[in-house]
Copies of this chain bind each other. A is one copy, B any other.
Amino acid sequence: MAKSVSTFMLRQRAFLKLYLIKLVEEERLYGLEILETLKGEFKAYGYKPTHSEIYKSLHELMADGILDRYRRPKEGTKLQEVVYYRFNDLEEAKRYKKQLKVELDRCVGLLQKALKDNYR
């Protein structure tokens, strides 16, 4: 059930989902940790995602069947439960990544065309 691709630029949601897949591959983080990690990553690029976009992106990845979630006590503590994510369908995740590559290339091409056409 692929979303129809936005015609002009890729949407923030799609961009975040790509990074969420990467983070789930690499480390175990819960929602707000993910948020802080990504804020750090993108700070130099003037982009600061919000908690609600992160959660919505995670939920969308679950609706896509790519991730699922489990509750577990936060590292170090015994009491507070937080939500972690893992892959439900790794093949689907790979397919999503591959698709995003095409879209990212297209968008870079469009923006670079604008730079070429309008400057110097």
Partner-B contacts on A (CB < 8 A): 5, 7-10, 12, 15, 18-19, 22, 42, 45-49, 97, 100-101, 104-115, 117-119
A107 surroundings in chain B (CB, below 8 A): 111
Expressed in whole angstroms, the minimum distance between the Cβ of A9 and any Cβ of chain B is: 5
Expressed in whole angstroms, the minimum distance between the Cβ of A53 and any Cβ of chain B is: 9
- Structural contact, A8 and B47, CB atoms closer than 8 A: yes
- Structural contact, B110 and A47, CB atoms closer than 8 A: yes
- Structural contact, B19 and A12, CB atoms closer than 8 A: no
A9 surroundings in chain B (CB, below 8 A): 9-10, 12
- Cα distance A100–B119 when bound, in Å? 10
Expressed in whole angstroms, the minimum distance between the Cβ of A81 and any Cβ of chain B is: 30
